[in-house]
Structure 1
Amino acid sequence: MLPKILTVPHMMTESAQRWPEAIAIEEGEHKISYRQLDALRMQAARAVMALGVEAGDRVAVWAPNQWEWIVAALGLQTAGAVLVPINTRMKGMEAADIIKRSGAKVLFIAGDFLGSYYPDMLQGQDMGDLSHTVVLRDARGSDKTWEQFMALAEQVPEADACARMDAVHPDSLADLMFTSGTTGRSKGVMSVHSAVVQAFDSWSNVVTLGPGDRYLIINPFFHSFGYKAGWFSALLRGAAILPCAVFDAETVLKLINEKKISFLPGPPTLYLTMLSSPKLKDYDISSLRVAVTGAATIPPVLIQRMRDELGFKVVVTAYGLTECGGCATVCDPSEDAETIATTSGRAIPGIELRCIDEAGKPVPAGSAGEIVIRGYCVMKGYMDDEEGTREAIDSEGWLHTGDVGILDERGNLRITDRLKDMFIVGGFNCYPAEVEKLLSVHPAIAQVAVVGVPDERMGEVGCAFVLLKEGAQLDEKGLIAWSRENMSNYKVPRYVRIEKAFPTNASGKVLKRELRDGFKP
């Protein structure tokens, strides 16, 4: 199934030839065949070139899951540009920082979404080299519309776009994805085309994604789960993509019933919410075939309930991080519920996986060690950060994940802990240092320490322990409200504790474990 040339645009060319009349994207009543999507991709590539985008230039997309997102991404990658997805939960200051640091020349942006007109959030922000903004839907005033953008294709001959695509090679940069960092600033992860194609061809094989599947993509396109394991994998395998912009249990159940959804990956919270819905029995969900989950500890009973109550024939768990393209291991669907729930499976073909001790030596099967990964899926490096790249990837090419795990004798990986303080909120990696940096600008805060605490629905959520400036007034409700105005929703602490002092060690370092252990909801 691998395309002859391991790039995203060449994959699309071959898929369009293989399944020309099959539905590639279905959103509401709007249906796009593989043949039509291929034509739209080429039109978008020509339009991007008309805006002056050259090979290697960065182009950002800040919008929810919708068909234009996919066309824009395929078009810019066909033109040799590098895709920069931006988290839709970010506020204007956060998004502008990524636009500027990436050097993006063009931005595809949402119009009205979640009660905000996204271009308004960027007013007054420094966005560096950005020269063109295209509003995908519901543009206001003089803002450039999607239709106006696509019309620019007339200025560039198709032969020029084909030549640009032919110049895209497997080792060309495909995307620049910003991941939250332990130092308080996100890092730009650079991945090449061949890594995307090879890893998710293997992933698609294991999870049995194929023609005829109808894939409801709830995982956001700005995330590897929604982009690489999402629409890219669907197009690689001839499946139909049904984008879902916002998760709501009843809406999802209705779509499964009406659209005969067969393929539904997501974090454990997705399935828990569906199972707890009082409307579950009101819908026919018998079309469901495959679930892929991970990103949190999963009780075996959930796997069994997904099979028994939601009707999934295949339930698979996986493990990955942005630095390895989002995919390193996948669990064999034929495994028992205990193995699927408690492990993330084995390394995908062509990828090496080890658990090592502090000296860098592999630990025996059954022993805990830091998870390290080597192979084609490992990032090219962090953008403009040679030191960070050297810290992440050692001289032998091993990516140090910062996660602690155990490999069993069959090579199945079980995640046991984290070397870093990162915690996972409903499938999203949340780094305390980044949240602390955002909270520290609050005028009442003298010092803040953020830890992850257990949450029945989300897996983990943040708790901010706060020391106030002398004479300042602030309560839990006030800080949470301020946080919602200034940071992505998943980063907002669900709990705030105003403290008189922090426990520290002899060198003055805050003992976060003591804060975490003393937490009470």
Structure 2
Amino acid sequence: MQQDNRTPDQAPLALARGATEQPLIEQTIGECFDAMVARQPEHEALVSVHQGLRYSYRQLQQAARQLASALLGLGLQPGDRIGIWSHNNAEWVLMQLATAQVGLVLVNINPAYRTAEVEYALNKVGCRALVTMRQFKSSDYLAMLQQLAPEWAHGQPGALESGTLPHLRSVVWIDQPGQGEEVPGLLRFSELMARGRSDDPRIDRIAATLKPIDPINIQFTSGTTGFPKGATLTHRNILNNGYFIGEAMRLSPVDRLCIPVPLYHCFGMVLGNLACLTHGSTIVYPNDAFDPLAVLQTVQDERCTGLHGVPTMFIAELDHPRFAEFDLSSLRTGIMAGSPCPIEVMKRVVSDMHLDQITIAYGMTETSPVSCQSRTDTPLDKRVSTVGQVQPHLEVRIADPETGATLARGQAGELCTRGYSVMQGYWGDEARTREAIDPEGWMHTGDLATMDEEGYVNIVGRIKDMVIRGGENIYPREIEEFLYRLPQVQDVQVVGVPDQRFGEELCAWIVVKPGQALSEDEVRDYCRGRIAHYKIPRHIRFVEGFPMTVTGKIQKFRIREAMKEQLGLQEARTA
């Protein structure tokens, strides 16, 4: 990594370039997967615990080819978009591999989406087909789809051409054993599979025409306002990112990675699936959606060596009342990412879950996603206080948010990334693409960060989350890390809320550990004398949890909205 970039006064610049000794993979996902199958055809590739399914690498390849053949039978052509609206299951990874094999663009649709969001997503990218779960808990996906397009319910999908979903031609629902009833106008996944042939000559013929730079995946970013943007990613983007992520974890065929994070997000499909498939490791799904007990049971039963999760997942596992019953001694590595990783939680994960080689990863959907990651041998103090160093074949820099100039190391500014991982762009939205990627190819993340002398990056917050109180810049992450030291605190989020006197005031939402008690006065007393007075939260609320996305990202804007509403009501009553 280059460390010698200097400003005119010889202060080192916050600019780092990743190693380039290992070349980039210049293959499609299908080519890379086929090569791994040839090396270890009988090695276990996938275990879907909740479905009772196991596949060797050869079996997974054959099933993916059979599905690819069936998808071509629906009339789909390379470049066509096909949506997947589902929680974690074997069908999901089969779709990931099958679409890549024949050049179909897989569109990840968040299972939390409702009718307006699904309609937007399908129409924004022109999906010609959709594979969906039938239902999950209280979510009835087929009912939502039929609400959008009543034509399906009457078995007349052709009528959609002038309806609300004009591009959609085929809908497939993932059926389970024992689900015998038919759904008018819709095709069962099992029936679709039966139509395909793993030896279909069209598969190899199409595969030979595909290029690594072809778009293969669209992921909708979780915006805080308006409808999400569709980041368009290529084979080269996500295949290489998955490979180098696995390298940082030292994955090999002996590893078995437990993946409780959602597949529709990069965390599951790239940091999970592709990290495993590029290293011959075994993918293990503990459940369709996150369940801490299922994770603990799966790690023990399947002797998993790796475990992924966002901080809230690890907290739920550590604090589960049956945690001590499980043997987690097989664990060694994994990734904690998705939101800032509390230092105290990280320490417990290392000591209580045997994850002494766990890594921290940072990125965003638009960069495939990881641009910085710690390694298994990164010193613990760096693993718990930074998001690691720049990944191979990438560049990161810290820029002045106002001028765009590269800052000196140690200064806080916007983190920018450049290299193979940067998306092609937002699908059908050149204006937003130009806003995100500057003319020099730098992706602007919107995250505030610092870089130290060794190139380790520390995320200090979002530019939009930075609180300005009485002219002082305050980074909520710093206050959160401090409050985690309180033994009664299980989780905490800090935001700024408007204040007429100081511009903004700090507000802390705190989740107290089960069986513990904590008061506002105790929190403030703990802060006094330990942090500057202007960093002490004025508003403190004790809550059961935080508003968050399915991937575990805290939605701070919703906390701010709730607080503004509360404070507005209070002010009205006072008046």
Name the TM-score, length of structure 1 as normaliser: 0.81
2:173 to 129, 135, 143: 135
1:351 aligns with 2:361: no
* Residue matched to 1:20: 41
* Residue matched to 1:195: 237
Q: Using a 3 Å threshold, how does the CA distance of structure 1 residues 4 and 340 change in structure 2: closer, same or farther?
A: closer
Structure 2 matches for 1:168-247, cutoff 5 A? 168-181=210-223, 183-243=225-285, 244-247=287-290
1:149 aligns with 2:192: yes
Structure 2 matches for 1:74-473, cutoff 5 A? 74-125=97-148, 126-138=164-176, 140-142=181-183, 143-154=186-197, 158-181=200-223, 183-243=225-285, 244-357=287-400, 358-421=402-465, 454-456=509-511
Q: CA offsets per residue over residues 55-86 of structure 1, 9 Å max, x none?
A: 11101100110001111221122111101011
Q: Using a 3 Å threshold, how does the CA distance of structure 1 residues 150 and 279 change in structure 2: closer, same or farther?
A: same
**Conservation of the 8 A alpha-carbon contact between 2:339 and 2:554:** no
Return the alpha-carbon distance in structure 2 between the equivalents of residues 319 and 489 of structure 1: 13
Displacement after TM superposition at 1:97 (Å): 1.6
Displacement after TM superposition at 1:296 (Å): 3.1
1:73 to 96, 104, 107: 96
Q: CA offsets per residue over residues 255-290 of structure 1, 9 Å max, x none?
A: 112111111011111211111122111111111111
**Conservation of the 8 A alpha-carbon contact between 1:97 and 1:127:** no
**Conservation of the 8 A alpha-carbon contact between 2:80 and 2:105:** yes
Displacement after TM superposition at 1:349 (Å): 0.7
Displacement after TM superposition at 1:350 (Å): 0.7
Q: Using a 3 Å threshold, how does the CA distance of structure 1 residues 330 and 37 change in structure 2: closer, same or farther?
A: same
**Conservation of the 8 A alpha-carbon contact between 1:329 and 1:346:** yes
**Conservation of the 8 A alpha-carbon contact between 1:407 and 1:413:** yes
**Conservation of the 8 A alpha-carbon contact between 2:339 and 2:553:** no
Secondary structure of 1:361 counterpart:
coil
Larger relative contact order, structure 1 or 2 (CA cutoff 8 Å, min sep 6): 2
Return the alpha-carbon distance in structure 2 between the equivalents of residues 71 and 455 of structure 1: 41
**Conservation of the 8 A alpha-carbon contact between 2:333 and 2:376:** no
**Conservation of the 8 A alpha-carbon contact between 1:2 and 1:197:** no
Displacement after TM superposition at 1:371 (Å): 0.7
**Conservation of the 8 A alpha-carbon contact between 1:89 and 1:489:** no
Displacement after TM superposition at 1:499 (Å): 4.4
Return the alpha-carbon distance in structure 1 between the equivalents of residues 239 and 214 of structure 2: 12
**Conservation of the 8 A alpha-carbon contact between 2:303 and 2:330:** yes
**Conservation of the 8 A alpha-carbon contact between 1:207 and 1:333:** yes
Return the alpha-carbon distance in structure 2 between the equivalents of residues 200 and 212 of structure 1: 17
Return the alpha-carbon distance in structure 1 between the equivalents of residues 507 and 108 of structure 2: 26
**Conservation of the 8 A alpha-carbon contact between 1:93 and 1:122:** no
- Equivalent residues, number: 453
Letter in structure 2 aligned against 1:254: Q
Return the alpha-carbon distance in structure 2 between the equivalents of residues 340 and 501 of structure 1: 38
Return the alpha-carbon distance in structure 1 between the equivalents of residues 79 and 40 of structure 2: 30
**Conservation of the 8 A alpha-carbon contact between 2:437 and 2:443:** yes
Unmatched 5+ stretches in structure 1: 425-429, 433-450, 459-482, 504-514, 516-521
Displacement after TM superposition at 1:93 (Å): 2.4
Letter in structure 1 aligned against 2:375: D
**Conservation of the 8 A alpha-carbon contact between 2:25 and 2:239:** no
Letter in structure 2 aligned against 1:313: D
Displacement after TM superposition at 1:106 (Å): 0.9
Secondary structure of 1:122 counterpart:
helix
Q: Using a 3 Å threshold, how does the CA distance of structure 1 residues 331 and 457 change in structure 2: closer, same or farther?
A: farther
* Residue matched to 1:9: 30
Letter in structure 1 aligned against 2:438: D
Letter in structure 2 aligned against 1:415: I
Return the alpha-carbon distance in structure 1 between the equivalents of residues 222 and 510 of structure 2: 21
**Conservation of the 8 A alpha-carbon contact between 2:257 and 2:334:** no
Return the alpha-carbon distance in structure 2 between the equivalents of residues 287 and 499 of structure 1: 48
Displacement after TM superposition at 1:87 (Å): 0.8
Q: Using a 3 Å threshold, how does the CA distance of structure 1 residues 122 and 181 change in structure 2: closer, same or farther?
A: same
Q: CA offsets per residue over residues 440-495 of structure 1, 9 Å max, x none?
A: xxxxxxxxxxx99644489xxxxxxxxxxxxxxxxxxxxxxxx99xxx99769578
**Conservation of the 8 A alpha-carbon contact between 2:221 and 2:230:** yes
Q: Using a 3 Å threshold, how does the CA distance of structure 1 residues 86 and 453 change in structure 2: closer, same or farther?
A: farther
1:56 aligns with 2:79: yes
Return the alpha-carbon distance in structure 1 between the equivalents of residues 508 and 68 of structure 2: 45
* Residue matched to 1:480: none
Return the alpha-carbon distance in structure 2 between the equivalents of residues 264 and 413 of structure 1: 23
**Conservation of the 8 A alpha-carbon contact between 1:82 and 1:173:** yes
Displacement after TM superposition at 1:15 (Å): 1.3
Return the alpha-carbon distance in structure 2 between the equivalents of residues 457 and 9 of structure 1: 47
Displacement after TM superposition at 1:392 (Å): 0.6
Letter in structure 2 aligned against 1:336: P
Secondary structure of 1:124 counterpart:
helix
Q: Using a 3 Å threshold, how does the CA distance of structure 1 residues 182 and 293 change in structure 2: closer, same or farther?
A: same
Q: Using a 3 Å threshold, how does the CA distance of structure 1 residues 295 and 119 change in structure 2: closer, same or farther?
A: same
Displacement after TM superposition at 1:342 (Å): 1.4
Q: CA offsets per residue over residues 333-385 of structure 1, 9 Å max, x none?
A: 22232211211011101101000112111111101111111101001111111
Secondary structure of 2:147 counterpart:
coil
Return the alpha-carbon distance in structure 1 between the equivalents of residues 554 and 447 of structure 2: 21
Name the TM-score, length of structure 2 as normaliser: 0.74
Q: CA offsets per residue over residues 230-278 of structure 1, 9 Å max, x none?
A: 1122111111111231222222111112111111011111211111122
Letter in structure 2 aligned against 1:230: G
Q: Using a 3 Å threshold, how does the CA distance of structure 1 residues 122 and 315 change in structure 2: closer, same or farther?
A: same
Unmatched 5+ stretches in structure 2: 1-21, 149-163, 467-475, 478-492, 496-505, 514-546
1:40 to 53, 60, 63: 63
Displacement after TM superposition at 1:500 (Å): 9.5
Q: Using a 3 Å threshold, how does the CA distance of structure 1 residues 112 and 457 change in structure 2: closer, same or farther?
A: farther
Displacement after TM superposition at 1:297 (Å): 3.2
Query: RMSD of aligned C-alpha atoms?
Result: 3.0
